[in-house]
Structure 1
Amino acid sequence: MSGDAVAGGPDLRPVSVERRTDGTGPRVLLLHGLAANDSVWEPALPELPGGLQMWTARLPWRTETITGLGTETDLAGRLAQALESVPGGAEVVVAHSMAANVLLDLLDRELRAGVDAPRKYGLRALVLVSPFYRSRAEQFDWETISYYLNDFHLIMEEGIRAHSGGRVPADLRRAMGERVRERVGPYGWFRFFDLYLRTPALAAGRLALPTLVLAGESDFAAPPGEGVALAGALPDARSLVLPGCGHFPMLDAPGRFAAAVAEFVHTVPGLSPSDGHARPTALELQR
């Protein structure tokens, strides 16, 4: 199912998925974050093992439809729709930023309702990239709210910097970041921050899926310590902080990002792509 266009025009469907590689191995679904779209994965896709069957999703919080985020009633339900749109189910889900939080919210909701969420969606493993997470409600104070509200445009600017490889001048990045912030709007911002505020209530100890939490060393939006803390709260998770990367490690260091994902998939029983790619070492991932 192509996510590029519908009847010759832009794809404005709330959710669509697209197969991106011809691999016959594990099905991997890539989920973009707030005010981005599936183009965020383009630099990393060629770096991933050819044996993987890669899919990308386009979600309601993407650039093209971001103005409707505040009125979207069920973000977790939309993400579930993306999971179910992959034929045979997505065995590995790689979720960036806000998408990681929507995914955790969905799985938490299902588990609390007594549903075996991994079995329902066919999930075998997760990769959470630059997630927002705090373990205690007391960690949210007025300064935190002020930071994420008043400096929200800086996160938008970081996405523009990463997408452009730093080629957009700072003054233009600021103007573009403020424009994206206006398109997200106050209601859209509250949808994001509400997900963040609910992270202390996640029943993280019940989500027993093999999980890799990837963070960027210089991420000022979702500090790497939060990713490390989330990995510590999950029963079968490990964290990896990539040096020299910000909130978008798949853009800042696509080769190292892809190597980390491939190395992790190789460690999950039954998910190793059979394309002859050698597993990178931990030292290689840090370079």
Structure 2
Amino acid sequence: MNTHIDLRPVAVEQRTDGPGPRVLLLHGLAANDSVWERALPLLPDACQVWTARLPWRTETIADWGHEPNLRGRLAQALSAVPGGPEVVVAHSMAANVLLDLLDQKQRGGVDAPRRLGIRALVLVSPFYRAGADEFDWNTISYYLNDFHLIMEEGIRVHSGGRLPADVQRAMGARVRDRVGPHGWLRFFELYLRTPALDTGRITVPTLVIGGETDFAARAEESRALAGALSDATVRVLPCGHFPMLEAADEFAAEVSSFVHATLGLPLQRGAAPHDALEPQR
């Protein structure tokens, strides 16, 4: 893991040097590329894996809410990978920024992912509602007043539950305050826009991974998003909002199997999916 604090808005780092395909991992809000550390050694040797550090990461989170163009920042991360990523794995809010970026009209019959050289997507714990009427005042109250609980959950999972409950609560409140009202509004604005996404424009194979006990981006939202995409499979793992940390073996196995089925890679490291996982829709 790179311990140097890089304050550039966007940076990418090559983590493995397989011959291909190129895989880019995108972290969610108030996290950084360390969120992938448990799953990285389990991904196929054949992959060339890159991780991104994005404006909404832990180190620069106090400033990101004023970013005028999150789609542009994400496009910058994609273009920073030499040759461009062929598989993009995006967690939580990054999945929503990615969907926002890819919600573009086809040109010459080619959708946005293929124009960018993306051959497959993995969307992990995405926030998604199919209809505008699914947002009400209770939903807003939940995500506003209990936002600190999502931050606490990230701290608990990253620490392996080793922190005392009072320290965990204090750290969660501190991260929430660093995100600030502007950052929260940027997050919730992306969420509110999901019913307007033209998901039919995204035709590349997509794996949607949810967590059975995720109280932030509920498992039914992963199922709904997979159902709205034209070529998608959904898997629900026995975990919460951070499958790559809480269920690293199962997560890596699902990603490995998906990349194998989609791009023809030999299966290595991450083995076949567990029987207990939700079947393909």
CA contact (8 A) 1:29 1:90 kept: yes
Q: CA deviation at 1:277?
A: 5.6
Per-residue CA deviation, residues 71-111 of structure 1 (Å, 9 max, x unaligned), is 10100110000011111110000000000000000000x33
Alignment equivalent of 1:130, drawn from 125, 128, 137: 125
Alignment equivalent of 1:240, drawn from 229, 235, 241: 235
Distance 1:281 1:62 in 2: 30
CA contact (8 A) 1:15 1:59 kept: yes
Give the alignment of 1:204-219 within 5 angstroms. Answer: 204-219=199-214
Distance 1:27 1:128 in 2: 16
Letter aligned with residue 257 of structure 1:
F
CA RMSD after TM alignment: 1.8
Q: Cα distance 1:45–1:284, how it changes in 2: closer, same or farther (>3 A)?
A: farther
CA contact (8 A) 1:3 1:17 kept: no
Alignment equivalent of 1:280, drawn from 266, 272, 277: 272
Q: After TM superposition, where is structure 1 displaced by more than 3 Å over at least 4 residues in a row?
A: 2-5, 112-116, 274-279
Distance 2:274 2:205 in 1: 18
CA contact (8 A) 1:28 1:93 kept: yes
Q: CA deviation at 1:3?
A: 6.6
1:111 equivalent in alignment to 2:105: yes
Distance 1:261 1:238 in 2: 11
Distance 1:261 1:278 in 2: 8
Q: CA deviation at 1:171?
A: 1.3
Per-residue CA deviation, residues 193-213 of structure 1 (Å, 9 max, x unaligned), is 000000000001221110000
Q: CA deviation at 1:279?
A: 4.9
Q: Which residue of 1 aligns with 2:218?
A: 223
Distance 2:277 2:185 in 1: 36
Q: Percent identity?
A: 69
1:57 equivalent in alignment to 2:49: no
Q: Which residue of 1 aligns with 2:244?
A: 250
1:195 equivalent in alignment to 2:190: yes
Q: Which residue of 2 aligns with 1:168?
A: 163
Q: Cα distance 1:203–1:68, how it changes in 2: closer, same or farther (>3 A)?
A: same
Distance 1:276 1:135 in 2: 36
Per-residue CA deviation, residues 25-83 of structure 1 (Å, 9 max, x unaligned), is 21100000000000000000001111111000000000000011121010011000001
Q: Cα distance 1:141–1:17, how it changes in 2: closer, same or farther (>3 A)?
A: same
CA contact (8 A) 2:106 2:112 kept: no
1:259 equivalent in alignment to 2:253: yes
Alignment equivalent of 1:43, drawn from 38, 60, 63: 38
Structure 2 stretches of 5 or more lacking a match? Answer: none
Q: TM-score, normalised by structure 1?
A: 0.92
Q: Which residue of 2 aligns with 1:22?
A: 17
Distance 1:90 1:241 in 2: 25
SS of the residue corresponding to residue 24 of structure 2 reads: strand
Q: TM-score, normalised by structure 2?
A: 0.94
Alignment equivalent of 1:96, drawn from 91, 100, 103: 91
Per-residue CA deviation, residues 116-168 of structure 1 (Å, 9 max, x unaligned), is 31233110000000000000000000000000000000000000011011111
Q: CA deviation at 1:112?
A: 7.0
CA contact (8 A) 1:26 1:272 kept: no
Distance 1:107 1:168 in 2: 39
Q: Cα distance 1:113–1:143, how it changes in 2: closer, same or farther (>3 A)?
A: farther
1:12 equivalent in alignment to 2:11: no
Distance 2:245 2:31 in 1: 12
